[in-house]
């Protein structure tokens, strides 16, 4: 039976997710934003039970008295009276209780006798504020409403658990990392410090620099520029094959497409490239992040894996190597064929039911990118080896095809402008905060990588990727990653004194 790869491929733009999946979830190839995936735990580990908080539907309309149940978790194992409260912020996926028992923040909690809370993001996971995911209902899905959720939750829990005088610190990685900083920005009286890991701050319509960082990251292997050179050569071979029907047949077979490729269908061709290039993007973004990612090679799939394949002359010509890497990813996700049909993908993401596959976070996140952030990763830069087949116009068209013609270029540009005006973009003005980022992670381009004050410090970690500092430490950690955790802890200690 064919497995629809879209159930494993869920992105479109930016951000991070606290997901139940053991591996990154994709939106047709590209990682869904940053997506903070959970650490691996033993099946013997005991997780705290889910709890439910009565949350307001609309924090900005006092005449709207509707409420809904928001999911959260508590770990009070290490807590002692007077200790700080650590609040982990959920993102664009189902909140995973694995974070409640492991990770760097849990080690900090043990050290400082902290109470640990995690709040699931509205409209993701099991936190369903509305009956369905219609555009009419998705107007209640925004970062501003999510921040107000955090504020109301924090205020109510302080009363319920007698925590009004305790220090509060927020934690988040990727999109939740942005929320962590914005929580401190918008509600400084409610949170005393914030750790904002791998967080993008500059909303932007077009993000071609993502692939430029992927290019740079691939040069860090022992092969230097040869890896990128071979990828570019393979891309040129694909471009040549797209010129005639026999070439379409070759590509259909080489990349295990579910249906015969029609090279005249530009949307399907773009979607094919989004998928296969997305495999490279995904591995670079999550390179060596301390999660076990077992593939057909029997080892962690990393940047080194990519370049070992692309530079292996015994594995055929560069196109065969390119296809071999694609096959490795498909076998890892137990995917039999690659579905690149644009129309069927759009139809799936138009489904407004909570029972649909797109409701696992894909439809919601696409909506947030169209309505707030964009972050559209494109091939509009010629300074990368992956061709020019999914320009920013492809992402804009997708917004319109899923949510309506009102999401045109000018509307999305205004949404992006509003977001940057609201939060400050690169110019965010905050205190008592740290901004960890990894040099391998393409999202660092939109983040804060230089300190913006004595009490707003960047922690730039050379050689690490997305949210690496959040995962449990290992004996293989780079010295700069070990030092980064110490720097974060030093700042944390000052906030909770």
- Selected catalytic residue, list 13, 441, 444, 477: 441
Amino acid 291: pLDDT:
54
Instruction: Measure the CA–CA gap between 420 and 427, rounded to whole angstroms.
Output: 9
Amino acid 162: pLDDT:
96
Q: Are 32 and 361 in contact (CB under 8 A)?
A: yes
- Domains of the chain by residue range: 51-204+424-495
- Selected catalytic residue, list 149, 444, 466, 477: 466
Amino acid 9: pLDDT:
40
| 380, burial (CB in 10 Å: exposed 0-12, middle 13-18, buried 19+) | middle
pLDDT tens figures, 264-293: 999 999 999 999 999 999 999 988 876 544
Q: Which residue is it, tokens 């959260």?
A: 72
Which architecture does CATH list for 51-204+424-495? 3-Layer(aba) Sandwich (3.40)
Amino acid 428: pLDDT:
98
Closest CA to 363 of 342, 384, 346: 346
Sequence-distant contacts of 109-112: CB under 8 A, at least 24 apart: 109/75, 109/78, 110/78, 111/489, 112/83, 112/84, 112/492, 112/493, 112/496
Instruction: Measure the CA–CA gap between 53 and 118, rounded to whole angstroms.
Output: 12
- Those residues of the chain that have pLDDT short of 70 are 1-35, 290-299
Annotation says 441 is catalytic: yes
Annotation says 76 is catalytic: no
Amino acid 297: pLDDT:
37
Burial letters 469-483, b for 16+ CB under 10 A, else e: bbbeeeeebeeebee
| 497, burial (CB in 10 Å: exposed 0-12, middle 13-18, buried 19+) | exposed
Instruction: Measure the CA–CA gap between 163 and 157, rounded to whole angstroms.
Output: 7
Annotation says 225 is catalytic: no
Task: Tell me, letter by letter, the H, E, C secondary structure of the chain.
Answer: CCCEHHHCCECCCECCCCCCCCCCCEECCEECECCCCCCCCCCCCCCCCCEEEEEECCCCCCCCCCEEEEEEEEECCCCCCCCCEEEEECCCCCCCHHHHCCCHHHHHHHHHCCEEEEECCCCCCCCCCCCCCCHHHHCCCCHHHHHHHHHHHHHHHHHHCCCCCCCEEEEEECHHHHHHHHHHHHCCCCCCEEEEECCCCCCEEECCHHHHHHHHHHCCCCCCCHHHHHHHHHHHHHHHHCCCHHHHHHHHHHCCECCCCCCCCHHHHHHHHHHHHHHHHHHHHCCCCCCCCECCCCCECCHHHHHHHHCCHHHCCHHHHHHHHHHHHHHHCCCCEECCCHHHHHHHHCCCCCCCHHHHCHHHHHHHHHHHHEEECCCCCCCCCCCCCCCHHHHHHHHHHHHCCCCCHHHHHHHHHHHHHHHCHHHCCCCCEEEEEECCCHHHHHCCCCCCECCEEEEEECCCCCCHHHCCCCCCCCHHHHHHHHHHHHHHHHHCC
**Cβ neighbours of residue 151 under 8 Å, at least 6 residues apart?**
59, 183, 186, 187, 190
Q: How far apart are the first and last CA of the chain?
A: 58
pLDDT tens figures, 17-66: 322 333 333 443 344 444 577 788 877 889 999 999 999 999 999 999 99
- Selected catalytic residue, list 19, 170, 174, 358: 174
Amino acid 155: pLDDT:
98
Tokens at 208, concatenated: 């071609």
């Amino acid at each position: 039976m064919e497995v629809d790869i879209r159930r494993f491929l869920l992105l479109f733009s930016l951000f991070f997710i606290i997901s139940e999946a053991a591996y990154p979830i994709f939106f047709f190839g590209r990682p869904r934003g940053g997506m903070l995936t959970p650490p691996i735990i033993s099946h013997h580990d005991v997780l705290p039970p889910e709890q439910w908080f009565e949350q307001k539907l609309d924090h900005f309309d006092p005449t709207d008295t509707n409420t809904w149940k928001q999911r959260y978790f508590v770990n009070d194992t290490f807590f002692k009276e007077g200790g700080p409260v650590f609040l982990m912020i959920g993102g664009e996926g189902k909140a995973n209780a694995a974070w409640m028992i492991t990770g760097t923040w849990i080690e900090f909690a043990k050290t400082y006798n902290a109470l640990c809370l995690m709040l699931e993001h509205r409209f993701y996971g099991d936190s369903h504020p509305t009956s369905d995911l219609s555009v009419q209902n998705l107007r209640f899905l925004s970062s501003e409403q999510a921040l107000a959720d955090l504020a109301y939750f924090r205020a109510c829990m302080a009363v319920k658990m007698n925590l009004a005088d305790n220090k509060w610190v927020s934690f988040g990685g990727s999109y939740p990392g942005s929320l962590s900083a914005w929580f401190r920005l918008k509600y400084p009286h409610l949170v005393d410090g914030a750790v904002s890991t791998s967080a993008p701050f500059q909303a932007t319509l077009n993000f071609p620099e993502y692939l430029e960082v992927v290019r740079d990251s691939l040069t860090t292997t022992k092969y230097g520029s040869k890896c990128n050179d071979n990828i570019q050569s393979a891309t040129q071979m694909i471009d040549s094959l797209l010129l005639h029907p026999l070439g379409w047949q070759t590509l259909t077979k080489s990349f295990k497409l579910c249906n015969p490729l029609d090279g005249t269908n530009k949307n399907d061709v773009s979607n094919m490239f989004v998928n296969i290039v997305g495999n490279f993007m995904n591995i670079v973004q999550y390179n060596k992040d301390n999660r076990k990612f077992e593939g057909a090679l029997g080892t962690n799939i990393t940047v080194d894996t990519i370049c070992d394949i692309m530079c292996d002359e015994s594995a055929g010509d560069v196109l065969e190597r390119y296809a071999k890497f694609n096959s490795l990813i498909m076998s890892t996700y137990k995917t039999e064929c690659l579905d690149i049909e644009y129309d069927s993908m759009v139809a799936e993401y138009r489904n407004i039911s909570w029972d649909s596959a797109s409701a696992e976070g894909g439809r919601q996140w696409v909506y947030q990118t169209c309505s707030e952030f964009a972050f559209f990763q494109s091939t509009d830069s010629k300074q990368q080896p992956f061709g020019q087949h999914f320009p920013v116009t492809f992402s804009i068209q997708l917004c319109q095809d899923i949510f309506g013609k009102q999401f045109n270029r000018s509307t999305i540009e205004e949404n992006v402008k509003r977001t940057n005006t609201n939060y400050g973009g690169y110019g965010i003005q905050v205190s008592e905060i740290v901004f960890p980022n990894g040099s391998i992670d393409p999202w660092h381009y939109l983040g804060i990588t230089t300190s913006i004050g004595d009490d707003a410090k960047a922690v730039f970690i050379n050689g690490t990727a997305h949210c690496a500092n959040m995962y449990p430490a290992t004996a293989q950690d780079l010295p700069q990653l070990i030092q980064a955790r110490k720097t974060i802890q030093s700042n944390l200690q000052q906030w909770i004194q």
